[in-house]
Structure 1
Amino acid sequence: MIDILGYCAAFLTTASFLPQAIKTIKTKDTSGISLLMYVMFTIGVFAWLIYGTFRKDIPVIIGNAVTLSFAITILRMKIKYK
């Protein structure tokens, strides 16, 4: 049961970034996004990914791996389209 909760949490938190990533990619508008916040967030997600890897916690690994790819995409665009 706890694994189901983990997978649900990972899915919801990861899926929540998809609309922002799609909007940012389509419009290339990053004016409403804080660079410092996204740098800190991306580092935090990467740390969670490493943590999940060491703990062998599949929901944490999957959720953060996908979220990290979204976060890096948005961060790169924020830097490129200041």
Structure 2
Amino acid sequence: MKPEAVTALGLVAATLTTVSFLPQVLRTVRTRDTRSISVGMYAAFVTGVGLWLIYGLLMQDVPIVVANAITFVLSGIVFLLKLRYG
């Protein structure tokens, strides 16, 4: 597989996994209802995504950086709302 195709595959995967967070973020922002959200899960997830972001930056891997930067912000919003309204 050509490097460009591998990058494109990574970008498609990154887009799909990142976009999957939008419904949760929009619902949580709109309703402020965080009762069903696990603070432990989101703490671990946001930390893991942050580490993936650092890894992607160190490796200079665009799909990893883009996906994890966006996912870090989106999951961070839900995490902060959980801490505030939880």
List per-residue Cα deviations over 1:8-66 (Å, max 9, x = no partner).
01100100000100000000000111000000000000000000000000000000000
Query: Which sections of structure 2, spanning at least 5 residues, go unmatched?
Result: none
Counterpart residue identity of residue 64, structure 1? N
Does 2:65 align with 1:61?
Answer: yes
Percent sequence identity over aligned pairs: 43
Aligned length: 82
Runs of 4+, deviation exceeding 4 Å: none
TM-score, normalised via structure 2 length:
0.94
The root-mean-square deviation of aligned C-alpha atoms, in Å, is 0.4
Unmatched segments (≥5 aa) in structure 1? none
